Amino acid sequence: MTIHVLILCTHNSARSVLGEGMLNHWARRLGRDVQAHSAGSAPSGRVNPYAIEALRHAGVDTGGCRSKSWDEFSRDGAPPLAIVITVCDSAAAESCPVFFGGTGGPPVKVHWGYPDPSHAEGGDDGKRRAFELTRQAIGYRMLQLLALPLETMDRAALQQALTEIGRS
């Protein structure tokens, strides 16, 4: 049974897209039945081109990348979400979406904050560097998530493990 993970950020144009791309990439490579999705509470309607570039440079398929609303995951027919990860930067007083929707039982929710690479200084080179570093950081946490025995963990153990990953 596929484990569905939703990665949320406000605009669904950078960090959440990087998370979706990296989790799907690693899940395929490792043969895990995990499917990542990303969405935003106020989607921009476009994926940041630096996010696409960073994913492509890492060998990630970006064909399905798009900025979308979290409403897609609250409708009939939406995948049953096991995990919801928010990736906004509360340290920068960025408002993080709170997801109440979903089908099936309530998902385990965790916050893994990252600074928005879209605001990096240093022109194009600075933004490219920031997106690459963010992709690497998110990718590492996604590998840690995939190392968990997701199929056999109860909610409390999964919540604790995901919280610990966020502290690493």
**65 tagged catalytic:** no
Here the tokens at position 65 are 């990348």
Here the tokens at position 9 are 């950020």
Q: How far apart are CA 146 and CA 163, in angstroms?
A: 14
* Closest C-alpha among 149, 150, 144, 120 to residue 132: 120
Residues with Cβ < 8 Å from 27, sequence gap 6 or more? Answer: 33, 34, 35, 36, 146
**Candidates 39, 55, 82, 88; catalytic one:** 88
**Candidates 3, 6, 9, 36; catalytic one:** 9
**Candidates 96, 133, 143, 150; catalytic one:** 96
**Active centre residues (catalytic):** 9, 88, 96
